[in-house]
Chains A and B, each alone.
Chain A
Amino acid sequence: ELKVEQNPLFLSMQEEKNYTIYCDYSTTSDRLYWYRQDPGKSLESLFVLLSNGAVKQEGRLMASLDTKARLSTLHITAAVHDLSATYFCAVTPSGGGADGLTFGKGTHLIIQP
């Protein structure tokens, strides 16, 4: 059974602080996805990490992938209130697009002024 473990599941932090969300997974896939979900909304794609050592950055968010350790991280730099949301990582059994995604439980992030 494919497992995706995210931690922490809940994170309350102050603006301007840095923090990291961790995603451990059990598949041998070399592809991992990060999504953002706002309350009552669907998913917004943040990053698609395609290979070992991949690092992608967008604004204050940076994601990395270590396929050997089966670990991905989502790092938040100098957090701002607008980043408050729930963040999910997800993988597929094979890495390809023919399979549906298995999601982590999500990290509910609250950024306080």
Chain B
Amino acid sequence: GAVVSQHPSRVICKSGTSVKIECRSLDFQATTMFWYRQFPKKSLMLMATSNEGSKATYEQGVEKDKFLINHASLTLSTLTVTSAHPEDSSFYICSASLDSSYPNYGYTFGSGTRLTVV
């Protein structure tokens, strides 16, 4: 239980275009979701915290106008990378927190999206 489905798993886009990444909680309601970015051979860095029905909270140094986050329902959060550039190429992972009623208590992660901007 408590699965987060993330799509697409891989996307290649041209520089200057926008890409939308979706994360859906399949069997639970995610009031809060988190978006991370991971560059090759690096750790995960928290980009923003997405709260259902309110504005996302961005970490220092993350451009909110470039990385648009929408959390319009309890089961869907989206990250849109606007005017993508090659330096935005990365592995993006979403996550939701789970309470102790779940076997995988803590945080559950989506399968990730590999974004390549050419």
Distance between Cα atoms of A108 and B43 in the complex (Å): 11
Confirm or deny: B49 has a beta carbon within 8 angstroms of a beta carbon on chain A: yes
Contact yes or no, B43 A101, CB < 8 A: no
Which residues of A in the span 85-113 have a Cβ within 8 Å of any Cβ on B?
A: 88, 97-106, 108
A41 touches B32 (CB 8 A): no
Query: Which residues of chain B in 16-62 are interfacial with respect to chain A, using CB atoms and an 8 Å cutoff?
Result: 32, 34, 36, 41-46, 49, 59
Cβ B32 vs Cβ A43 within 8 A: no
- The chain A residue sitting closest to B51, CB to CB, is A98
B97 A88 Cβ-Cβ under 8 A: no
Q: Which residue of B lies closest to A32 (CB)?
A: B106
Say how far B26's CB is from chain A's closest CB, in angstroms: 15
With A and B bound together, what is the CA distance between A62 and B112 in angstroms? 27
Report whether A41 and B46 are in contact in the complex, using a CB–CB cutoff of 8 Å.
no
Q: Is the CB of B44 within 8 A of A97?
A: no
B residues 95-118 near A (Cβ < 8 Å) are: 95, 97-99, 104-112, 114
Q: 11 A-B residue contacts at CB 8 Å?
A: A41-B111, A42-B6, A43-B109, A45-B104, A48-B105, A98-B97, A100-B34, A101-B36, A101-B95, A101-B107, A103-B43
